[in-house]
Amino acid sequence: MNTDARSFIARHGAPLLDRLAPRERQALGLAAAIVLAALLWWLALAPALATLRTAPAQHARLDAELQQLQAMATQAQSLQAQPKLGRDEALRALEAATQRHLGPTAKLSVVGDQATATFTSTGADTLAQWLAEVRINARTVPAELRLTPANPTPPATPAAASAAPTGVWQGSAVFALVR
């Protein structure tokens, strides 16, 4: 506080307090104490107590994430430790996975050391399982992946919306068979 503010309070604040009755001064002091206690609660204690209440749930969530990351790291290390497949072995594994998961909705074409899988009306879960199997058995991941919803136009009626399949995709995936 600067000296002008102090002198203003000294000149005007003290005479105001002197005009108040002792009971009014006590009430003013009590009101100031209540305001100070409320500020202390809202600014210091309430946030700390909220953090303390949510800490066990957050700790459990972070532990679960850590376990998931450790499992993924272990899986990545085991995949890296596997011997590399030759072009023909990778192609056979890719064809088997494509036939098993995508079936008639997919077509596989091979040009040189690249294989392109084109698929239509394939569910998201099926695509995820197929990509996981290709990654593990063919030991390759898509070099290029293009996905679009199989039904990009919205249904005309609510009844058609409830009958339309959700999470259905079409597109293509390009794999490098030799790395």
Cα–Cα distance for residue pair 74/79, rounded to 1 Å? 9
pLDDT at 164: 46
Question: Quick check: 132 and 173 in contact, CB under 8 A?
Answer: no
Chain segment 75-108, per-residue pLDDT in tens: 888 878 888 888 889 999 999 999 999 998 899 9
Cα–Cα distance for residue pair 123/12, rounded to 1 Å? 78
Q: Which helix (H) or strand (E) holds 144?
A: strand 142-149
Would you say residue 48 has pLDDT above 80? yes
The CATH number given to 87-151+166-176 is: 3.30.1360
pLDDT at 179: 65
Chain segment 6-46, per-residue pLDDT in tens: 676 667 666 666 677 888 878 888 998 999 999 998 998 88
pLDDT at 130: 94
Residue 110: how many other CB atoms lie within 10 Å = 14
pTM score of the predicted model: 0.55
For the chain, domain boundaries: 7-79, 87-151+166-176
Chain segment 120-141, per-residue pLDDT in tens: 989 889 999 999 999 888 888 8
Cα–Cα distance for residue pair 168/104, rounded to 1 Å? 15
